[in-house]
């Protein structure tokens, strides 16, 4: 996939990227970088990044005054800056002593980095605008993004403009679990490319008996189904793997409540 | 002999005064910068460990407490009898207390406000007809900045007596809008459209779910209560976008938003409105103005 490869722009040259519903233009000027983006909500497509001769004439460029001598520019897919909430279309039961893999499609944020290391980030924005939602009660909780697309069991059922986050549920208890809603903190997830798709680290949620009913861990690697992968982006907050556990714990607490335990 | 002793005493006395003045200057030279430095450090770093309000209170306590201590040390150094001074201050304080009952009431109210913490610096509160951001909570009054950028000082005594609404206490808020549609519209369809508008708005939370109920049969319209949940910092963004979206969507869907109107009947809906011409006009003459 050449989308994530570096392009070198001369002064006055422009490149165009497409990421799901978003189209993005980057232009190099004399000691400046210009960026412009727009979204078409109903468009679903994959990712591309190439040189472009004709940027839109009415573009409202964001200008970055940076005296960078090289014209290197590249796209980086990143995870959202807030947790995401995902719910299945219909209630899903995970039987006792069973395990199930769900694939969550997350629209990545697109970052534009220019110049040599350490690169300057001139754009960091979601490829698709997600609605806000709340995880918690009305007095305390977390502001999250709402993924209105249900998790799937096969990657083919997720649109090309989404990064695939594998979530492995393991029910080690003696009772069935209902999966109604999952709050996934994406801060600790890295992004990979493999088999022509974007993938994130695998999240493993193990449900057990006792006072600590849920263990949530980030595997730190893409799933085997992604094939040979290349890491494109580090987690936004690598130290926050524990927070994934807390979110997962809240989710499983919710599942516990709904399943009448 | 006597003259020599008198000279020695004068010299000694002058020395004591000089030493006292020097000591006082040294105290000022060390004390004032020390108090200012402590105040600066609390202002700079206090916000990391405490709430803005606690940091502000701590800074004021250190500043005023330090200043009072320094003042008393200097008086002691200059030879004033502090016990007598404090006694006199007590008498004066009593007199002042009687004369400044309002201030004392404000101070006591301020202590209650600070300990009860119904709001803190940075919260948006509504007091009477004033709404604004709390700038400081002091012993005598609360200062706030209204959204049209006015500086409002509310005495603590008034705050204790009045209803105070803390608008930003909780992280999410519900915005209630009354939406009126014509009586001819299909209620279920209107509800479905309002729900869709809410779900498509980027600031509106989809959980808790929007509240959409037919709230009232109004004079001119069916009135729906449209309750949308929003993160408190997005409240204005939601207000400014959702009303535009309702109007655009209703126009696109052909849903009528009625303006207030009044129907007059002469006692029965079906009978025509009776007109009686008074005066001596010629029945055969054409109406005026034609």
Task: Report d(CA B200, CA B209) in Å as an integer.
Answer: 13
> First-to-last CA distance in chain A?
47
pLDDT digits (tens, 9 = 90+) for B130-164: 999 999 888 889 999 999 999 999 999 888 888 99
Range of the domain at B130: 118-166
Q: B33 in a domain, yes or no?
A: yes
Together in a domain, A69 and A198: no
Burial state string for A81-112 with b = 16 or more CB within 10 A and e = fewer than 16: ebbbbbbeeeebebeeeeebbbbbbbbbbbbb
Together in a domain, B248 and B189: yes
Range of the domain at A218: 81-107+128-258
- CATH number, domain of B142, equals 2.30.30.60
Q: Which of A99-108, A130-139, B12-21 has the lowest mean pLDDT?
A: B12-21
- A248 by Cβ neighbours in 10 Å (0-12 / 13-18 / 19+) ranks as buried
CB of B206 within 8 Å of any CB in chain A? Answer: yes
CB of A137 within 8 Å of any CB in chain B? Answer: no
pLDDT at B55: 78
Closest CA to A77 of A38, A51, A49, A112: A112
Taking 60 as the threshold, does the pLDDT of residue B288 lie above it?
no
Contact call for A134 and B170, based on CB within 8 A? no
User: Which residue of A lies nearest to B208 if distances are taken between CA atoms?
Assistant: A134
B181-188 long-range contacts, CB within 8 A, separation 24+:
B181/B221, B181/B222, B181/B224, B181/B250, B181/B255, B181/B256, B181/B257, B181/B258, B182/B221, B182/B222, B182/B255, B182/B256, B182/B257, B182/B258, B183/B221, B183/B222, B184/B256, B185/B222, B185/B255, B185/B256, B187/B214, B187/B222
Q: A116 in a domain, yes or no?
A: no
Together in a domain, A99 and A138: yes
Q: Is the ipTM of this complex over 0.85?
A: no
Contact call for B208 and A138, based on CB within 8 A? yes
Together in a domain, A42 and A60: yes
If phi over 0 gives left and psi between -120 and 50 gives alpha, with beta otherwise, what is residue A227? left
CB of A216 within 8 Å of any CB in chain B? Answer: no
Q: A113 in a domain, yes or no?
A: no
- Structural domain count, chain B: 3
pLDDT at A242: 45
Together in a domain, A248 and A156: yes
Q: B282 in a domain, yes or no?
A: no
Q: B59 in a domain, yes or no?
A: yes
Taking 80 as the threshold, does the pLDDT of residue A93 lie above it?
yes
With beta carbons less than 8 A apart as the criterion, state whether A201 and A223 touch: no
Residue B206: its chain A contacts at CB < 8 A? 131-133, 146, 148
């Amino acid at each position: 996939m050449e989308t994530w490869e570096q392009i070198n722009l001369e002064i006055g040259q422009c490149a165009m990227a497409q990421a799901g519903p978003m189209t993005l233009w980057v232009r190099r000027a004399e000691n400046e970088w210009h960026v412009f983006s727009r979204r078409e909500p109903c468009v679903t497509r994959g990712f591309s990044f190439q040189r472009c001769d004709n940027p839109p004439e009415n573009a409202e460029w964001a200008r970055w005054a940076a005296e960078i001598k090289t014209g290197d520019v590249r796209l980086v897919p990143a995870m959202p800056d807030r947790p995401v909430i995902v719910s299945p279309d219909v209630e899903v039961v995970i039987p006792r002593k069973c395990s199930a893999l769900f694939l969550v499609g997350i629209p990545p944020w697109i970052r534009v980095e220019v110049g040599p290391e350490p690169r300057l980030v001139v754009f960091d924005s979601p490829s698709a605008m997600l609605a806000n939602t709340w995880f918690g009660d009305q007095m305390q909780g977390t502001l999250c993004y709402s993924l209105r697309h249900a998790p799937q069991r096969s990657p083919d059922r997720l649109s090309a403009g989404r990064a695939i986050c594998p979530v492995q549920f393991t029910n080690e208890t003696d009772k069935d679990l209902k999966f109604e809603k999952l709050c996934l903190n994406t801060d600790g997830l890295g992004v990979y490319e493999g088999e022509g798709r974007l993938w994130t680290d695998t999240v493993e949620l193990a449900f057990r008996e006792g006072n600590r009913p849920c263990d949530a861990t980030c595997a730190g690697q893409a799933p085997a189904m992604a094939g040979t992968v290349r890491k494109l982006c580090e987690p936004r907050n690598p130290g926050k793997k524990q927070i994934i556990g807390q979110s997962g714990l809240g989710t499983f607490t919710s599942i516990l409540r709904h399943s009448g335990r | 002999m006597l003259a020599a002793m008198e000279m020695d005493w004068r010299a000694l006395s002058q020395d004591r005064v000089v030493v006292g003045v020097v000591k006082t200057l040294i105290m000022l030279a060390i004390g004032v910068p020390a108090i200012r430095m402590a105040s600066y450090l609390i202002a700079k770093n206090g916000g990391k460990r405490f709430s803005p309000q606690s940091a502000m209170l701590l800074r004021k306590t250190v500043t005023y407490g330090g200043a009072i201590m320094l003042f008393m040390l200097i008086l002691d150094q200059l030879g004033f009898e502090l016990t007598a001074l404090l006694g006199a201050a007590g008498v004066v304080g009593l007199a002042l207390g009687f004369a400044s009952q309002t201030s004392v009431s404000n101070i006591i109210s301020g202590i209650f406000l600070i300990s009860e913490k119904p709001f803190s610096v940075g919260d948006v509160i509504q007091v009477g007809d004033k709404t604004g951001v709390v700038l400081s909570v002091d012993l005598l009054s609360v200062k706030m900045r209204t959204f049209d950028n006015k500086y409002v000082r509310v005495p603590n005594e008034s705050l204790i007596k009045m209803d105070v609404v803390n608008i930003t206490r909780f992280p999410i808020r519900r915005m209630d809008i009354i939406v009126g549609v014509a009586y001819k519209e299909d209620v279920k369809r209107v509800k479905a459209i309002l729900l869709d508008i809410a779900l498509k708005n980027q600031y509106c939370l989809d959980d808790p779910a929007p509240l959409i109920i037919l709230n009232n049969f109004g004079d001119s319209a069916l009135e729906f209560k449209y309750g949308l949940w929003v993160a408190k910092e997005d409240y204005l963004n939601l207000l400014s976008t959702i009303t535009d979206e309702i109007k655009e969507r209703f126009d696109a869907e052909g849903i009528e938003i009625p303006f207030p109107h009044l129907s007059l009947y002469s006692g029965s809906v079906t009978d025509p409105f009776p007109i009686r011409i008074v005066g001596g006009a010629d029945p055969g003459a054409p109406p005026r103005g034609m």
